[in-house]
C-alpha cells in the first residue's frame, strides 16, 4: 500500500527547507552522507527490500521499525555496504571538507566478543582496521570512557554482564571513529536495566552529533532517541518522517495498526 505523499521523501534532497516547523529545515540543509534510489534486495524468492528511496544526512538519528522480517536488518546491511542492491542505486557522498567517504561501523544484535580483556577486544579491532599503533591506546581509552566502561577495561569481555557486553561492542564500533553508526536492535534481549545503560550510551552519541541508523522493536526507544522514524512493511519503506510527525500526525492505516500492536501478517 502507498503512504500519503506528504510523509514520503522527508530525508530526500528535494525537500524544501522552509516548509516544516518540526526541525526539518535544519535537516534539509544538512549534508547528505548516503542515499538509496529504488533499492531492491532479493534473497532467492524473498523480496527483502523493494523500491527503497532515502537520503541519510549528517547528524540524523534514523530509527527503523516494523514487524519481524519486514527488512530492517537488510536495510541496515545495505546502507552499510555489507550487501549489494540487486536493483536501484546506493550512493556514498564524500564528506564536505575532507572529500573522503564517510566511515561506517555496525553494532550487530548479538555481537561477537573474544575471550580477552575488554581493552584487548577494542585494540584488536583497531589493529584489524589498520589504525596506526601509536593511536590505538588513546582511542581504546576514549571509546571505553564514552560507554562508561573504563573501570572494566581489564576484565574478560565474556565475563561482563549482557548490558556491559553490548556497551563494549558499542565501544568497539566507536573506536573506529565512524561518521555513521548502524545499530541493529541494540537493546533487544537485554533486561530493562541493561537496556537503559545501552540507551544512555546511544543517547550520548546522538547528543554529540553522530549520525546513527538503528532498528528496534522498542517504540519508546524510537520516540526518545530518533530525529526521524522509518516504518518498513514487507520490504517497503512505507513511511519516513521526523519523529514528532511520525507519532503525532495521522499516519497511514498500516502504520496506525502497527503502532496499536496489530501485526501486518494475516
CB closer to ligand ATP, 24 vs 48: 48
Q: Please, which residues have CB within 8 angstroms of residue 75's CB and are 6 or more apart in sequence?
A: 49, 52, 64, 215, 232, 237
| Shortest Å, Cβ 66 to ligand ATP | 6
- Residue 216 touching Mg ion (CB under 5 A): no
- Residue 35 touching Mg ion (CB under 5 A): no
Q: Please tell me the distance from the alpha carbon of residue 136 to that of residue 129, in angstroms, as a whole number.
A: 11
**E strands of the chain, at which residues?**
32-43, 46-57, 61-65, 87-92, 104-107, 180-184, 211-215, 228-233, 236-242
Could you tell me if residue 67 is left (phi over 0), alpha (psi between -120 and 50 degrees) or otherwise beta? beta
3-state DSSP helix/strand/coil % of the chain, to nearest 5: 35, 25, 40
| Shortest Å, Cβ 72 to Mg ion | 5
| Shortest Å, Cβ 232 to Mg ion | 10
CB closer to ligand ATP, 18 vs 263: 263
Q: Which does 176 bind (CB under 5 to 8 A by kind): ligand ATP, Mg ion, none?
A: none
Q: Please tell me the distance from the alpha carbon of residue 84 to that of residue 89, in angstroms, as a whole number.
A: 9
CA separation (Å) from 4 to 221, 241, 260? 25, 12, 19
- The torsion angles phi and psi of 46, rounded to 5 degrees, stand at -90, 125
CB closer to ligand ATP, 185 vs 199: 185
- Residue 236 touching ligand ATP (CB under 6 A): no
Q: Which does 69 bind (CB under 5 to 8 A by kind): ligand ATP, Mg ion, none?
A: ligand ATP
Q: Which does 55 bind (CB under 5 to 8 A by kind): Mg ion, ligand ATP, none?
A: none
Q: Residue 68, Cβ neighbours under 10 Å: how many? A: 8
> Which of 73, 152, 164, 166 touches Mg ion (CB under 5 A)?
73
Q: Please, which residues have CB within 8 angstroms of residue 207's CB and are 6 or more apart in sequence?
A: none
CB closer to ligand ATP, 79 vs 140: 79
CB closer to Mg ion, 18 vs 68: 68
Residue span 46-85 as binding mask against ligand ATP, x where in contact by CB under 6 A, dash where not: x-x-----------------x-xxxxxxx-----------
Q: Please tell me the distance from the alpha carbon of residue 107 to that of residue 93, in angstroms, as a whole number.
A: 22
> Which of 1, 6, 43, 84 touches ligand ATP (CB under 6 A)?
43
| Shortest Å, Cβ 140 to ligand ATP | 30
Q: Please tell me the distance from the alpha carbon of residue 197 to that of residue 205, in angstroms, as a whole number.
A: 13
CB closer to ligand ATP, 71 vs 195: 71
Q: Which does 263 bind (CB under 5 to 8 A by kind): ligand ATP, Mg ion, none?
A: none
Residues found near ligand ATP in the complex (CB under 6 A): 43, 46, 48, 66, 68-74
Site for Mg ion, rule CB under 5 A: 72-73
Amino acid at each position: 500500500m502507498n503512504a500519503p505523499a506528504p510523509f514520503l521523501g522527508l530525508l530526500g534532497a528535494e525537500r524544501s527547507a522552509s516548509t516544516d516547523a518540526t526541525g526539518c529545515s535544519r535537516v534539509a540543509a544538512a549534508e547528505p552522507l548516503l542515499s538509496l534510489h529504488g533499492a531492491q534486495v532479493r534473497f532467492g524468492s524473498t523480496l527483502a527490500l523493494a523500491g527503497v528511496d532515502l537520503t541519510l544526512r549528517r547528524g540524523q538519528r534514523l530509527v527503523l521499525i516494523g514487524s519481524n522480517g519486514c527488512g530492517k536488518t537488510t536495510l541496515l546491511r545495505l546502507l552499510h555496504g555489507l550487501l549489494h542492491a540487486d536493483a536501484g542505486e546506493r550512493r556514498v557522498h564524500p564528506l564536505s571538507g575532507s572529500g573522503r567517504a564517510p566511515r561506517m561501523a555496525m553494532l550487530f544484535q548479538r555481537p561477537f566478543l573474544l575471550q580477552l580483556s575488554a581493552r584487548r577486544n577494542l585494540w584488536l579491532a583497531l589493529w584489524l582496521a589498520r589504525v596506526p599503533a601509536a593511536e590505538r591506546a588513546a582511542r581504546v581509552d576514549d571509546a571505553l570512557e564514552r560507554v562508561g566502561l573504563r573501570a572494566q577495561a581489564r576484565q574478560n569481555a565474556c565475563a561482563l554482564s549482557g548490558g556491559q557486553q553490548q556497551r563494549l561492542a558499542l565501544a568497539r564500533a566507536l573506536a573506529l571513529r565512524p561518521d555513521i553508526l548502524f545499530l541493529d536492535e541494540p537493546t533487544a534481549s537485554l533486561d530493562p536495566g541493561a537496556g537503559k545503560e545501552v540507551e544512555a550510551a546511544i543517547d550520548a552519541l546522538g547528543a554529540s552529533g553522530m549520525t546513527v541508523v538503528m532498528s528496534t522493536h522498542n517504540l519508546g526507544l524510537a520516540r526518545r532517541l530518533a530525529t526521524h522514524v522509518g516504518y518498513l512493511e514487507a520490504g517497503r519503506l512505507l513511511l519516513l518522517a521526523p519523529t514528532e510527525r511520525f507519532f503525532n500526525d495521522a499516519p497511514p492505516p498500516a502504520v496506525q495498526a502497527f503502532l496499536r500492536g496489530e501485526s501486518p501478517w494475516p
